Amino acid sequence: MLVIKDLQASIEDKQILKGINLTVKPGEVHAIMGPNGSGKSTLSAVLTGNPAYTVTGGSVEFYGKDLLALSPEDRAHEGLFLSFQYPVEIPGVSMVNFMRTALNEKRKYYGQEPLSAADFLKLMREKRSIVQLDNKLASRAVNEGFSGGEKKRNEIFQMAMLEPRLSILDETDSGLDIDALRIVASGVNTLKSKDNATIVITHYQRLLDYIKPDFVHVLYKGRIVMSAGPELALELEEKGYDWIKEQVDSQQ
Amino acid sequence: MNALKQYIDLYDEHRDLIEQQSPALLNTLRRSAREHLEGARLPRKGSEDYEATDLEAVFAHDYGVNVNRLPFEADPGETFHCDVPNLSTCLYYSSNDAFHSSPTAERNIGQVVVEPFSMAAVDYPELMNAYYGSQARLSDPTVALNTLLVQDGLFIYVPDGVVAERPLQLVNIFNAALDMMVQRRVLIVVGKNAAIKLLVCDHTQSPDYHYLNNQVVEIVAMQGATVDYYDMEESTPLTRRVSSIYVDQHEGSNVLIDGITLINGFTRNNYHVEVNGEHAETHLLGMTIASGEQHVDSRTFISHNAPRCNSNEMFKYVLNDHAVGAFAGKILVQPDCPRVEAYQGNRNLCGAPTAKMYTKPQLEIYTDDVMCSHGSAVGQLDEEALFYMRTRGIGIDEARRLLMQAFVADVIDGVRLDALKDRLHYLVEKRFAGTLSNCACCSQACRPAK
């Protein structure tokens, strides 16, 4: 579904991604790990079309379409979802209004009629239960005054509502206590199917205990320098990144 | 060039005619108004409190003045249907410069007095004599001009202890088939412990003519009175409005004034509030949504003349295209007025680099032991929030609309009339979506104003 070839990107003339290659197929879970500043969040930002970043080379195909040519909203309609590391607070815009607009824009994209108010509320209720998101939160403004854990659960709730084909979870585990982590992870697992895929960006093995990856990639200095099975995550947890850094730096 | 001169000349020439066609009461102040206008000039752009607004240019246009009080044919009640749901107001109209009541006005009988000055001068001479012109300041040339030329007005009186069951709605409509200036004048006296909610809508039905509404509103809130005054403008690019609202608040009164501009051409709103009694409460709110070449300028002045009273002021502007917004707000706390609480805020969103906002908050405090603050900010839409919404599939235009709506939401939530609050959320949504015609309450299919 996703084919990234030699992707390069910069922010304010600083080159961050220096040639990423990655292929994701339906049903797969990929974990991307790596030390701070290696470009993990940049990758998710570039894939979702954050205007702050400039793509300087390479290509990304999503179900055969040139992803980089699409607007962020059309990428979402095509089935790409990003769970933000730092979800944005939007005072004055209620979760209900936000979600209804998002859902109906997608339906419009596919030439469908807007969802009726009753059907929409039913869907909200159903999906909210997946991440045990309180009804009170759903009636508040988007992320406003939410705790760290509530914000992350809200991200997964939105994912459940939008039913993406590819979800990128950017450090979804940061700022979560064990209980919240379990709820979020089980939410992600509930939504998993043979037709969708997940990219999990994380620092820690911890999340991968709950969301089992098929592949683990190490990102360092803007490139994927190592790819292996889930056992790599355990090795990294034990040994840290230094041995990989040394290996890569000595090759340069 | 002095734009006032053409109107002063008109008065001097037709003085007898103007006076004959008016209640005698209105004539008593004309002499004083005429004196104030001798040698007066309208403020030019850049003068004190007119940093962005050229009044001289606004009045320089050659407007017709209906000195002869010729009736206009159209009865607005026949063509105008307000559909603010569940509001069920007592409805009054003014078309151009004449008042009409509607069948719903009867709902007020025994409660609230609503009469044109010509009738009120006969029915309530004492009140009219005591309060007409009691608040308005002739030192403002536009107020002096209104007083000089006004020939009728609307008198609203809520007797002591009467709590009006239904909101009162006054719909002002411009529909004359010629360029025209009118001097709208309203006097509102709300008795002790009485309460009323008023909704005033300014509309223009004919988009092809230049209109100028030079209006003066005086509100007297007696001891313990509660007054809500919602003032909404949905007009046309050729409509100009210079409005001065004067408020006199007595002890324990509670006054809310909310000025809303959705579509207009040029608007200058002056708010002058004298808080004269302890424990009085003032809420002054403003919301402007402007695009195209719209120009909206508000000046507020709240004078705390008594201890232990409080005021709360918030004006918000959303400006797009080449719109110009201005806000000059002043809070004055007089000597020996301890425990006054006064807060002023002005927040503005410039959605385009070509939109301009001028803002000037001022506090002038002559008493210790008060709590006062002012804050003013001009900003753009939050890029992070925009991107976040786009990643959820909300298109850029829709995302911008949601954020702009959210920005003004708290001003709308300050409305103390639920049906109107809902209606305003709806109108604002339509306004941002670009589907608000000149008047969403109106059955007339007027040309939409961008």
Whether residue A105 and residue B398 make contact (CB cut-off 8 A), yes or no, is yes
Structural domain span for residue A125: 2-251
Residue B87 is predicted with a pLDDT of 63
Whether residue A141 and residue B391 make contact (CB cut-off 8 A), yes or no, is no
pLDDT band at B101 (very low <50, low <70, confident <90, very high): low
The dihedral built from the CA positions of residue A185, A186, A190 and A195, taken in this order, carries a sign that is positive
Q: Tell me which chain B residues have a C-beta less than 8 angstroms from the C-beta of A109.
A: 393
Residue A204 is predicted with a pLDDT of 83
Residue B437 is predicted with a pLDDT of 54
Residue B447 is predicted with a pLDDT of 36
Q: Distance between CA A172 and CA A83 in Å, rounded?
A: 7
Residue B266 is predicted with a pLDDT of 97
| Helix or strand holding residue B376 (H, E) | strand B371-379
Residue B74 contacts A, CB cutoff 8 Å? no
Q: Reply yes or no on whether the pLDDT at A55 is more than 60.
A: yes
DSSP state of B43: P
Pick B390's closest partner by Cβ from A72, A91, A97: A72
Residues of A with CB under 8 A from a CB of B: 48-52, 71-73, 75-77, 81-82, 84, 87-93, 97-98, 101-103, 105-106, 109, 141, 158, 162
Q: Reply yes or no on whether the pLDDT at B198 is more than 50.
A: yes
Task: Specify the residue for token string 């044109």.
Answer: B116
- Positions of E strands within B222-355: 226-234, 239-249, 254-263, 266-275, 281-290, 295-304, 310-319, 324-333, 341-350
Mean pLDDT across the stretch A80-101? 94
CB atoms within 10 A of CB B302: 24
pLDDT digits 0-9 by tens, B378-406: 999 999 999 999 999 999 999 999 999 99
Min Cα distance B232 → chain A (Å) is 22
- Is A159 in contact with A185 (CB distance < 8 Å)? no
* Range with the largest mean pLDDT of B9-23, B88-102, B264-278: B264-278
Residue B103 is predicted with a pLDDT of 60
Structure token digits, residue B9: 């000349």
Residue B381 contacts A, CB cutoff 8 Å? no
pLDDT digits 0-9 by tens, B431-440: 888 776 544 4
pTM given for the model: 0.86
Residue B77 is predicted with a pLDDT of 56
Closest CA to B262 of B418, B378, B428: B428
pLDDT digits 0-9 by tens, A235-247: 998 898 999 999 8
* Range with the largest mean pLDDT of B13-22, B205-214, B292-301: B292-301
Strands B185-190 and B324-333 come out as unpaired
Query: Residue A124's domain is classified under what CATH number?
Result: 3.40.50.300
**Mutant choice from B287, B316, B394, B405 vs A, greatest count of A C-beta within 10 A:** B394
Q: Reply yes or no on whether the pLDDT at A163 is more than 80.
A: yes
Whether residue A71 and residue B387 make contact (CB cut-off 8 A), yes or no, is no
Pick A93's closest partner by Cβ from B384, B395, B406: B406
Residue B74 is predicted with a pLDDT of 59
Closest CA to B227 of B198, B260, B264: B198
Whether residue B391 and residue A77 make contact (CB cut-off 8 A), yes or no, is no
Residue B433 is predicted with a pLDDT of 83
Whether residue B388 and residue A90 make contact (CB cut-off 8 A), yes or no, is yes
Q: Tell me which chain B residues have a C-beta less than 8 angstroms from the C-beta of A89.
A: 385
Q: Reply yes or no on whether the pLDDT at B441 is more than 50.
A: no
Whether residue A98 and residue B410 make contact (CB cut-off 8 A), yes or no, is no
Q: Which residues contact A224 (CB under 8 A, 6 or more apart)?
A: A20, A21, A22, A32, A217, A218
Structure token digits, residue B368: 């210790």
Pick B393's closest partner by Cβ from A87, A88, A106: A106
Q: How many domains does chain A have?
A: 1
- Is B168 in contact with B93 (CB distance < 8 Å)? no
Q: Reply yes or no on whether the pLDDT at B215 is more than 70.
A: yes
Min Cα distance B347 → chain A (Å) is 14
Residue B442 is predicted with a pLDDT of 43
Q: Got the DSSP string for A125-161?
A: HHHHHHTT--HHHHTSEETTT--HHHHHHHHHHHHHH
Q: Reply yes or no on whether the pLDDT at B197 is more than 90.
A: yes
Mean pLDDT across the stretch B284-302? 96
Q: Tell me which chain B residues have a C-beta less than 8 angstroms from the C-beta of A81.
A: 391
CB pairs below 8 Å between A and B: how many? 77
**Mutant choice from B380, B392, B411 vs A, greatest count of A C-beta within 10 A:** B392
- Positions of E strands within B129-237: 154-158, 168-174, 180-182, 185-190, 195-204, 211-221, 226-234
Whether residue B391 and residue A49 make contact (CB cut-off 8 A), yes or no, is yes
Mean pLDDT across the stretch B278-293? 96
Q: Distance between CA B444 and CA B442 in Å, rounded?
A: 5
Whether residue B394 and residue A93 make contact (CB cut-off 8 A), yes or no, is no
- Is B270 in contact with B244 (CB distance < 8 Å)? yes
Query: Phi, psi at residue B263, to the nearest 5°?
Result: -140, 135
How far from A19 is each of A62, A179, A215, A225, B126, CA to CA, in Å? 18, 37, 19, 11, 87
Residue B102 is predicted with a pLDDT of 62
pLDDT digits 0-9 by tens, B12-57: 999 999 999 899 999 999 999 999 999 999 999 999 889 999 999 9
Q: Tell me which chain A residues have a C-beta less than 8 angstroms from the C-beta of B413.
A: none
Q: Tell me which chain A residues have a C-beta less than 8 angstroms from the C-beta of B393.
A: 73, 76-77, 102-103, 105-106, 109, 162
pLDDT band at B446 (very low <50, low <70, confident <90, very high): very low
Looking at chain B, which residue has its C-alpha nearest residue A78? B393
Of B369 and B74, more confident = B369
A148-162 vs A117-130: helix axis angle to the nearest 10? 130
- Label residue B31 exposed, middle or buried (CB < 10 Å: 0-12, 13-18, 19+): exposed
Residue B341 is predicted with a pLDDT of 97
Biggest CA pair distance of chain A: 61
| Lowest mean pLDDT segment, chosen from A134-138, B154-158, B228-232, B395-399 | A134-138
Whether residue A92 and residue B406 make contact (CB cut-off 8 A), yes or no, is yes
Min Cα distance B334 → chain A (Å) is 37
| Lowest mean pLDDT segment, chosen from A57-61, B104-108, B341-345 | B104-108
Residue B107 is predicted with a pLDDT of 59
pLDDT digits 0-9 by tens, A2-51: 999 999 999 999 999 999 999 999 999 999 999 988 999 999 999 999 99
Q: Reply yes or no on whether the pLDDT at B175 is more than 90.
A: no
Whether residue B392 and residue A102 make contact (CB cut-off 8 A), yes or no, is yes
pLDDT digits 0-9 by tens, B58-73: 999 999 888 877 776 5
- Is B87 in contact with B423 (CB distance < 8 Å)? yes
Q: Reply yes or no on whether the pLDDT at B83 is more than 50.
A: no
Average pLDDT of every residue of chain B:
90
Pick A51's closest partner by Cβ from B382, B387, B398: B387
Residue B389 contacts A, CB cutoff 8 Å? yes
Residue B68 is predicted with a pLDDT of 79
Q: Tell me which chain B residues have a C-beta less than 8 angstroms from the C-beta of A155.
A: none
CB atoms within 10 A of CB B20: 11
Q: Tell me which chain A residues have a C-beta less than 8 angstroms from the C-beta of B392.
A: 76, 98, 102, 158, 162
Looking at chain A, which residue has its C-alpha nearest residue B394? A102
pLDDT digits 0-9 by tens, A178-221: 888 998 999 999 999 999 999 999 988 888 999 999 999 999 99
How far from A213 is each of A24, A198, B299, CA to CA, in Å? 12, 9, 62
Q: Distance between CA B116 and CA A237 in Å, rounded?
A: 84
Whether residue B391 and residue A93 make contact (CB cut-off 8 A), yes or no, is no
> Could you tell me what percent of chain B has a pLDDT over 90?
72
Residue B75 is predicted with a pLDDT of 58
Pick A92's closest partner by Cβ from B395, B398, B409: B409
- Is B296 in contact with B320 (CB distance < 8 Å)? no
Give alpha helix (H) positions in chain A. Answer: 40-48, 72-77, 95-109, 117-130, 135-138, 148-162, 178-191, 205-210, 231-239, 242-251
Q: Tell me which chain B residues have a C-beta less than 8 angstroms from the C-beta of A51.
A: 383, 387
Min Cα distance B170 → chain A (Å) is 31
Cα angle: B306, vertex B311, B313; to 5 degrees:
150
